[in-house]
Amino acid sequence: MTKFDYQKINELIHSRIRLAIMSVLVNLEEADFTYLKQKVNTTDGNLSIHLSKLENAGYISVNKIFEDKKPRSLYKLTKTGRESFEAYIEHLEEIIKTGNRQDV
């Protein structure tokens, strides 16, 4: 076991698109589907797949509402999601920081 063990990196968060989604949400109360799609720059289908994965992991929650008779999906980080994201970042920082030759 070493800190560089790649399997210790949270795969659910690490995927580029899910990392981008989580990074947008971590600074917001909530964001809707269209906003997220524009921010992470992907397609409806791709975004849906990854939002579902994050929702299934308990990292985000969705609130489906109607506004002017149009459906709108609002996403936000759960407490678990926020804690997991913070743990992920902390772990990543530990791995990637340079200049710590003695730990290699």
Applying CB under 8 A, which of residues 33, 40, 54, 59 lies at the interface with a copy of itself?
Answer: 40
**Contact flag: residue 57 with a copy of itself (CB under 8 A):** no
Distance in angstroms (rounded) separating the CA atoms of residues 87 and 49: 23
Residue 1 interacts with a copy of itself (CB under 8 A)?
A: yes
What single DSSP character describes residue 4? T
State the number of CA atoms in the 13 A half-sphere of 36 facing the CB.
Answer: 33
What do you get for the CA distance between the two ends of the chain, in Å?
12
- For a copy of itself, the binding residues (CB under 8 A) are 1-2, 4-7, 9, 11, 14, 16-17, 19-20, 23-24, 26-28, 38-42, 86, 89, 92, 95-96, 98-101, 103-104
